[in-house]
Structure 1
């Protein structure tokens, strides 16, 4: 069976939970405290005890081996299989995908997907371990960048995405104002999200005037390092029915993960190196699986680690023609009153980006949106949602949800 196939059965999200995302070292807690809070919230949302959970894929990037067990033991000591998942920034969505596969295959009826991260202050290094560039798992990606743009002393992740932005500007006349519009939108959206690390609103002018991290990206267009956790309970159709969870259930209508192919490297372009081909391929698979297209989607949570990646993802998801993403965001099509609401949570730029939790935080936001439980950031009439989570190295996960 294709690892991306939906399997013989359906899988539903029946409970979600998360912590507030916070600046590293701003709160006296450990990763297991975060996991207890997020996992406990997800179980409470589902209205089920932990002893009904049969397996737990658990994601993180910075903690030691078997940290997943240490975290899950806070919820109970039932002896279930616990999987330690690490897929760079796509870690949490990878855990979610594993949970969905366990359920859709008929192996389990109830699985907990959990993600957490306790990070350090400051910019990321060359890989999720912050290690040496030459030994980094993404050294090949940075090598492609260096051949075309050189390698500077700015933070490497900002550098590779900043160079993708430069290429997009040169190729399509994308403007700094269009990039800043992404940041303006997402910071504005986060003002209504109590879980967001930042809830400040900025004008485009303020975003452009902020400290430059790697030209053309300013600080307010870059996701911060963050602490936090998120979780989801995934259940079979039978479990939903037997436990009366129909009012809570959100169907995972399609899901796919792709990794790098030659398309990431052959062009020598940072646009490809940072994953646009992976995202496009994953989206295509999900549209085919679900029978739904981007025109059916109401609300999207996507991986805006930097403002340019939101624009690249618009194109990868088929929201606009190649090169037209700057004009799309500038038109207002991706905020309230437009064709889609993208990153109502504030996205990674403003909600925060604890690597091992991000994909499940997207899942929580979209579940609340489809249930009509998102409060002042609710997208009116939302029935179909899409999540996009990507990690360099690489992995792209796209998930289609419907109510």
Structure 2
């Protein structure tokens, strides 16, 4: 049975050994039940009633958790990082191409022609070149854009963490130092992973030749260049999609595992929530590609309509990511119930840290003293 903890006892340090959870919005500290066995162990398979509970909770809590609004918040942080990320990518290209402006612009033009519908290529290329400017200042641009991108990405991760905590029904328990260090670690993992995925998506013979061609002779890398263009790239053309899918699932799983203040058990590369989220996102991207080729280019709104469609796409994607967290959280709840834990109203998974929860309850105890003073004064006035 979940236990309530007295605020004044906590302030005096009498419950410091307990695994404490501060449920979202209640201000009452709860002690997580000790677990004899891991609820997510392989033998504890979800039963039919368990799956029914997962479905019901996902439907019932959709409005309460305000998924649409929270997805919009994440979309705002996503948009903040797009322009500096594009500038950083171009700056890296110009640095790798010994500041060859013509080669860099030719490479960007080739990418636009390969991945953007013909009717939108001129507008897309003009937008890209306006954002990136000239490569003469690529070092400064790279430094500034990377810093801004990391700050924007870190803000996204912190917002995602707060939303994930709410979905698990608790507030953040890690102190500010641990929280920021954890969020920056997640940010670096996500950024590096995203860069590798983008490199894998756009890796072509023209890019490899443009980047390594000028360096092959001075560094004696002719054999390496030959291997990449004649052996690796043909194989990569077939392996590209499955490798990118696995990498994307891994990134989502890392985000789901580390962002909330929850220790669900050992890390799992594949979770139901992360897998479903990726499938839905891939489907959405496919529909968006169809929209661009069949409708978007003929729309009376032109490029503006495409921009609106991209914003809508990002919004839906972020909602899907949050719903993936919800699915994993409700599966954990159902398996805890099957393991005999009282998880009907609060998921019993222990927090990664409860330092901030202790501080929160201490401040509430301090505020309660003022409440008591107000009530005492009211009673004195009534007696008079």
**Common topology (TM > 0.5):** no
**Per residue, is there more strand in 1 or in 2?**
1
**Per residue, is there more helix in 1 or in 2?**
2
Q: Of the two, which has the highest radius of gyration? A: 2
- The TM-score, its normalising length taken from structure 1, stands at 0.22
